[in-house]
C-alpha cells in the first residue's frame, strides 16, 4: 500500500506523505515511491508546479523510521539507507518544475531535509523545525549538513544539529528559510502555485537551473543543461544531426 501519493490536477501536482500513524516517517518503500513520483513528474509536461505536503496534525514528517534503519549494519546503513535517501531527495530538489512545501506541523530530521529540497516553504504558526539526530546517536544523512548549510546561517544550523534546539515558524521566516507563515499553509501554497499561470513554464525552468548553478545545487549538471538547451535550438545542431544521418560533412553557419 502506497504511503506517498501523487495527484495530478492539470498544471498542479501534489505529493502527499500519508503515514500519519508513524508521523509520516520515511520507510524504504516510501523513498522508492517518492523517487517514482519524481520520475513521473519529469515526464508530465503539463505539470507546472508541485506541492509537497503530508497528512495529519502531529507532524509534517518526523524523518526516517527508526525501526527501518536501526537493525542495519554500519555498512548497510551508510551504503544503502543514507545514500539511497540522499539520491531520492536530490531527485526531488533537482526537479525541473518549481516545488512548494507545506509544513503544517513539526518537521524534524529527514522531514526538515525533505522541506529543504523544495524551492520554497510555507509554514503554519505552530510548526517547529529541528535536527534531533544527535539525540539518538546519529547525524543528519539526507543533506541536513549540506543543503541546509546553504539555506540557514551556520550558527543556527549548529544550534539545531549540535545542541538539538528547535526553531519556530516566526524565526524560520525571519531567517528566510520559509516564504510565508500562514494559518492555512495548504491554501497559501496553492495560491502561490496559482500565480504561476502567468509565467512561462520554460522561463521558470531555466531560471531554476540558473539559480541552482549559482548556489551549488548540482552546478555541473545545471550548467550543462543550460548549454544543451542553448545549442539544441541552433541551426548548427540541426545541420550536424542532418549531416550525420546523410553521411556527409556538415556545413555549419554559426546560427
The pLDDT assigned to 119 comes to 98
- Region 209-237 average pLDDT: 90
- Region 179-194 average pLDDT: 97
Per domain, the residue ranges of the chain are: 4-197, 201-246
Q: With b meaning 16 or more CB within 10 Å and e meaning fewer, what string describes 147-160?
A: bbbebbeeebbebb
- Assess if CATH 2.40.30.10 describes domain 4-197: no
- Region 4-33 average pLDDT: 95
**Residue-wise pLDDT tens digits, 119-130:** 999 999 999 999
Give CA–CA dist 131/236, Å, rounded.
51
Helix boundaries (H) for the chain? 28-42, 66-69, 74-76, 83-93, 110-117, 147-151, 154-163, 169-174, 185-194, 201-215, 219-232, 235-246
The pLDDT assigned to 221 comes to 87
The pLDDT assigned to 81 comes to 75
The pLDDT assigned to 168 comes to 98
Burial of residue 231, with CB atoms counted within 10 A of its CB: 0-12 exposed, 13-18 middle, 19 or more buried: exposed
Give CA–CA dist 29/32, Å, rounded.
5
Residue 181 CA to chain centroid, in angstroms? 19
Residues annotated as catalytic are: 113, 133
Residue 6 CA to chain centroid, in angstroms? 15
Judged against a pLDDT cut of 80, whether residue 225 lies above it is answered with: yes
Mean pLDDT over each residue of the chain, to the nearest integer: 93
Radius of gyration of the chain (CA): 20
Give CA–CA dist 173/133, Å, rounded.
23
Q: What percent of the chain has pLDDT over 70?
A: 98
Residue 127 CA to chain centroid, in angstroms? 19
Query: What is the DSSP pairing of strand 107-108 with strand 128-130?
Result: parallel
Give CA–CA dist 185/130, Å, rounded.
19
Residues 6+ apart with CB under 8 A from 88: 31, 32, 34, 35, 38
Identify whether the C-beta of residue 19 lies closer than 8 Å to the C-beta of residue 30. Answer: yes
Give CA–CA dist 82/89, Å, rounded.
11
Amino acid at each position: 500500500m502506497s504511503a506517498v501519493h501523487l495527484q495530478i490536477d492539470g498544471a498542479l501536482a501534489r505529493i502527499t506523505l500519508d503515514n500519519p500513524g508513524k508521523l509520516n516517517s520515511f520507510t524504504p518503500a516510501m523513498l522508492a515511491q517518492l523517487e517514482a513520483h519524481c520520475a513521473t513528474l519529469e515526464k508530465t509536461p503539463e505539470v507546472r508546479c508541485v506541492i509537497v505536503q503530508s497528512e495529519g496534525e502531529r507532524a509534517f514528517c518526523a524523518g526516517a523510521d527508526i525501526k527501518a534503519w536501526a537493525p542495519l549494519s554500519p555498512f548497510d546503513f551508510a551504503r544503502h539507507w543514507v545514500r539511497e535517501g540522499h539520491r531520492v531527495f536530490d531527485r526531488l530538489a533537482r526537479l525541473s518544475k518549481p516545488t512548494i512545501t507545506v509544513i503544517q506541523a513539526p518537521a524534524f530530521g529527514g522531514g526538515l531535509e525533505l522541506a529543504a529540497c523544495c524551492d520554497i516553504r510555507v509554514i503554519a504558526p505552530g510548526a517547529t523545525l529541528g535536527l534531533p539526530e544527535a539525540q539518538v546517536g546519529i547525524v543528519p544523512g539526507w543533506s541536513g549538513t549540506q543543503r541546509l548549510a546553504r539555506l540557514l546561517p551556520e550558527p543556527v544550523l549548529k544550534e539545531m544539529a549540535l545542541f538539538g534546539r528547535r526553531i519556530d515558524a516566526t524565526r524560520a521566516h525571519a531567517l528566510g528559510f520559509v516564504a510565508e507563515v500562514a494559518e492555512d499553509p495548504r491554501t497559501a501554497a496553492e495560491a502561490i502555485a496559482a500565480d504561476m499561470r502567468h509565467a512561462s513554464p520554460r522561463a521558470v525552468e531555466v531560471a531554476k537551473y540558473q539559480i541552482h548553478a549559482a548556489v551549488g545545487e548540482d552546478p555541473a549538471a545545471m550548467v550543462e543543461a543550460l548549454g544543451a538547451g542553448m545549442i539544441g535550438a541552433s541551426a548548427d545542431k540541426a545541420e550536424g544531426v542532418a549531416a550525420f544521418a546523410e553521411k556527409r560533412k556538415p556545413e555549419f553557419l554559426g546560427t
